């Protein structure tokens, strides 16, 4: 079992016990959760301002929904995200900015505009992505999406052992990233819940997340309001917060370090609570029985 070490994002270094909230800011009209909420640039910037105040460590900016739908080509994805990343960088020089893309052309423009992290949820579909990360000195998320093409839904997927498949693929991508010149301290792995997985698979990955954290690579989990939460609790989109937070807590307890989230305040509280239970941080204020 490998030890977790310092994760470098931009000019920051984060130790293993620092749990990071990655706030989602979609520059899309049609993402699954609150579609179009931050399609308008000014509204998007207001959300960035708010989530930073709420305790977000990383701003994850994406221009293409994960679900299939209207084609968003490279040019349009760059148009939606690169200028906005530059604007966020100008207003918030210290915040970690992530570009949510699987395309190396987009990642290159995003990094030039100020992104520190390339968040690829599609399992390294574009094999030039790691070279772009290396060239830009950026961090890279190495994820598992089964054999799904970007923007496709899982259909009757099955695995001998889903966790073994996740381990094999994410470590393969991580090794390739190192070989391509990405800084070892800037590599993150992500099992990518729901991507190439049915609900049982996403639950299994969560149940056995410690097998991923045991690799020593920092683990990102992206579970916010996803379908596996909805199916597990039989609740529609607006009612998935409790399930999201439960999954967040269980993942944090097993050593995940980055939590991609729509609800920053609640996620931050859950992570602080887990950190306090683990003994990594003290309670904010403890007077009960002590007065």
Partner 1 sequence: MIVSAALCPAAPLLVRDLTGADEAARDLRQACLAAVAELTAGTPDVVAVVGAGDRTGAWNGAATLDLDRYAPGPVLANGQGRAAVQRPPGEPPAMAPGLPPALGVGAWLLGQVGRAGGRLLQAVGADEPPGRCAGIGAALADSADRVALLVMADGSARRGLKAPGYLDERSAGFDAQVVNAVREGRLDALLSVDPVLARELMAAGRPAWQVMAGALDGRKVSSEIRYCDDPFGVAYLVASLRVRADP
- Site for partner 1, residues 49 to 68, rule: CB under 8 A: 67-68
Q: CB nearer to partner 1: give 61 or 66.
A: 66
Cα separation of the two ends of the chain: 44
- Residue 201 within binding range of partner 1, rule CB under 8 A: yes
Catalytic residue among 89, 103, 260, 268: 260
Place of tokens 């003994």: 279
- Residue 3, Cβ neighbours under 10 Å: how many? 7
* 96 SS3 class: strand
Q: Which two tokens stand for residue 185?
A: 């301290």
Q: Kindly write out the interface string for residues 31-50 of this chain, putting x where it contacts partner 1 by CB under 8 A and - elsewhere.
A: --------------------
One of 38, 81, 143, 198 touching partner 1 (CB under 8 A): 198
- Residue 11 within binding range of partner 1, rule CB under 8 A: no
- For residues 223 and 52, what is the distance between their CA atoms, to the nearest angstrom? 20
Residue 65 contacts residue 31 (beta carbons within 8 Å)? yes
The region of 19-27, 34-42, 106-114, 200-208 touching partner 1 under the rule CB under 8 A is 200-208
- Site for partner 1, residues 223 to 242, rule: CB under 8 A: 231-232, 234
Catalytic residue among 27, 226, 257, 268: 226
- Site for partner 1, residues 66 to 85, rule: CB under 8 A: 67-69
Residue 36 CB, nearest approach to partner 1 (Å): 16
- For residues 192 and 200, what is the distance between their CA atoms, to the nearest angstrom? 14
260 part of the active site: yes
Residue 264 contacts residue 55 (beta carbons within 8 Å)? yes
Q: For residue 207, give Cα distances in angstroms to 40, 201, 247.
A: 38, 10, 9
- Residue 200 within binding range of partner 1, rule CB under 8 A: yes
- Residue 209 within binding range of partner 1, rule CB under 8 A: no
Residue 65 CB, nearest approach to partner 1 (Å): 12
- Site for partner 1, residues 126 to 165, rule: CB under 8 A: 152-156, 158-163
Left (φ > 0), alpha (ψ -120 to 50) or beta: where does 217 sit?
beta
Give CA 270 to chain center in angstroms: 17
Largest Cα span, the chain: 62
Long-range CB contacts for residues 277-284, cutoff 8 Å, separation at least 24:
278/17, 278/253, 280/17, 281/17
Q: CB nearer to partner 1: give 98 or 251.
A: 251
- Residue 1 within binding range of partner 1, rule CB under 8 A: no
- Residue 288 within binding range of partner 1, rule CB under 8 A: no
Interface ranges with partner 1 (CB under 8 A): 67-69, 152-156, 158-163, 198-201, 203-204, 207, 231-232, 234
Catalytic amino acids? 226, 260
């Amino acid at each position: 079992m490998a030890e977790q070490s310092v994760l470098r994002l931009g000019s920051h270094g984060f130790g293993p016990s620092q749990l990071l909230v990655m706030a989602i800011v979609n520059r899309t009209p049609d993402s699954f959760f609150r579609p179009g909420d931050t399609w308008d640039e000014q509204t998007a910037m207001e959300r960035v301002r708010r989530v930073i105040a709420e305790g977000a460590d990383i701003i994850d900016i994406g221009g293409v929904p994960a679900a299939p739908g209207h084609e968003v080509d490279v040019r349009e994805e760059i148009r939606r995200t690169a200028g906005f990343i530059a604007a966020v960088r100008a207003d918030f020089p210290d915040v970690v900015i992530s570009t949510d893309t699987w395309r190396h052309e987009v990642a290159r423009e995003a990094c030039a505009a100020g992104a520190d992290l390339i968040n690829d949820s599609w399992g390294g579909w574009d094999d030039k992505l790691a070279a772009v990360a290396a060239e830009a000195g950026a961090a890279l998320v190495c994820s598992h999406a089964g054999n799904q093409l970007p923007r496709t839904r899982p259909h009757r997927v099955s695995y001998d052992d889903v966790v073994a498949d996740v381990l094999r693929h994410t470590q393969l991508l991580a090794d390739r990233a190192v070989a391509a010149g990405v800084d070892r301290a800037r590599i993150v792995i992500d099992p990518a819940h729901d991507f190439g997985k049915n609900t049982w698979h996403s639950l299994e990955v969560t149940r056995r997340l410690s097998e991923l954290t045991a690799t020593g690579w920092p683990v990102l989990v992206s579970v916010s309001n996803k379908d596996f939460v909805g199916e597990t609790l039989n609740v529609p989109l607006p009612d998935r917060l409790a399930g999201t937070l439960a999954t967040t807590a269980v993942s944090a307890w097993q050593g995940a370090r980055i939590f991609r989230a729509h609800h920053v305040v609640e996620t931050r509280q859950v992570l602080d609570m887990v950190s306090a239970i683990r003994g990594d941080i003290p309670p904010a204020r403890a007077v009960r029985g002590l007065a």
